[in-house]
């Protein structure tokens, strides 16, 4: 009922899983990944325990084939399962049980495994791995390219409903929330892959806004302005990016440009002016009462 790809980027060490299915909320069950450990996709008549248990075994030192073999040996329902794993060294492992509904199968190569079941064609998984190897960009982009190729090759025989992508950093930071570089889900949609790509673009835009905040906090006003401009270009009409850009533009001595941008934002949501008026009391962004008054007036 699902097709997925599990992969490791050999240049960055990033690990990721991307999946699409004609099943609600596939991202809550199929993809699992941990920095410097490995990544897992568990599907077909999915047993979600393969995710955390597979990661635990790889964390303890087993490679992906050994971890998968141990889990299968203990599972009486193994012939109904389909699993893909890649460990932190790029060793892949996959299993398609004999009771998985056709078309079903998998293909592996160094750093990657692709698996699919209930497909319209047995060309889905070969098309996915070929597209992954041919794609350019970071790991997230290449994972989505593989999903797109699976859809073109036939995709799920029942249609499409949900999709997800999970990418973790190649190096553990000690702060697990920072290690999850991309963690996006489309729970229920007529076009889950299109929506997943849209969300990835929004995710990247908000990443630029976080970069801008870090620059501003470090006293790098020019760097903050550049990052917000990039965010606005990626996210046209996004009031968050526009508002904070306007604040920094005013600080940079361009009040007329700031007022025009603030007026545009306030026309969509007047509450942003209340946010602006509250800034001086917070001490954030070095905004004075005089500056706010000049902008509001």
Sequential pLDDT tens for the chain (297 residues): 699 999 999 999 999 999 999 999 999 999 999 999 999 999 999 999 999 999 999 999 999 999 999 999 999 999 999 999 999 999 999 999 999 999 999 999 999 999 999 999 999 999 999 999 999 999 999 999 999 999 999 999 999 999 999 999 999 999 999 999 999 999 999 999 999 999 999 999 999 999 999 999 999 999 999 999 999 999 999 999 999 999 999 999 999 999 999 999 999 999 999 999 999 999 888 889 999 999 987
CATH number, span 205-296 = 1.25.40.10
- Taking the CA atoms of residue 179, residue 185, residue 191 and residue 196 in that order, the dihedral angle to the nearest 10 degrees is -20
Q: CA-based Rg of the chain, rounded to a whole angstrom?
A: 23
d(CA 295, CA 260): 9
CA 215 to chain centre: 24
Boundaries of CATH 1.25.40.10 in the chain?
A: 205-296
CA 151 to chain centre: 19
Residue 116: closest CA among 136, 96, 132, 137: 96
Supply the pLDDT for residue 297: 76
Supply the pLDDT for residue 1: 67
Boundaries of CATH 3.60.20.10 in the chain?
A: 2-190
Fold of 2-190: 3.60.20
CA 226 to chain centre: 24
Supply the pLDDT for residue 283: 86
């Amino acid at each position: 009922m699902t097709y997925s790809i599990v992969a490791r980027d050999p240049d960055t060490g990033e690990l990721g899983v991307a999946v699409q299915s004609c099943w609600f909320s596939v991202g809550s069950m199929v993809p699992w990944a941990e920095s410097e450990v490995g990544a897992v996709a568990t599907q077909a008549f999915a047993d979600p325990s393969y995710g955390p248990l597979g990661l635990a075994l790889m964390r303890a030192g087993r490679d992906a084939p050994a971890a998968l073999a141990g889990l299968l040996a203990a599972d009486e329902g193994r012939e109904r399962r389909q699993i893909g794993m890649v460990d932190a060294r790029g060793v892949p492992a996959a299993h398609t049980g004999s009771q998985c509904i056709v078309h079903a199968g998998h293909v592996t190569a160094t750093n990657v495994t692709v698996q699919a079941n209930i497909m319209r064609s047995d060309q889905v998984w070969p098309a996915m791995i070929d597209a992954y190897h041919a794609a350019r960009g970071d790991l997230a982009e290449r994972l989505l390219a593989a999903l797109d190729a699976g859809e073109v090759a036939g995709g799920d025989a029942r249609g499409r409903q949900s999709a997800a992508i999970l990418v973790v950093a190649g190096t553990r930071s000690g702060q697990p929330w920072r290690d999850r570089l991309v963690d996006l889900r489309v729970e229920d949609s007529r076009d889950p892959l299109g929506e997943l790509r849209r969300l990835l673009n929004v995710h990247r835009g908000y990443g630029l806004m976080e970069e801008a905040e870090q620059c501003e906090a470090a006293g790098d006003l020019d760097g903050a302005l550049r990052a917000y401009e990039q965010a606005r270009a990626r996210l046209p009409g996004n009031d968050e990016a526009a508002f904070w850009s306007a604040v920094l533009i005013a600080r940079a001595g361009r009040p007329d440009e700031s007022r025009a941008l603030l007026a545009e934002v306030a026309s969509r949501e007047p509450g942003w002016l209340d946010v602006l008026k509250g800034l001086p009391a917070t001490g954030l962004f070095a905004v004075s009462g005089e500056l706010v008054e000049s902008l509001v007036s």
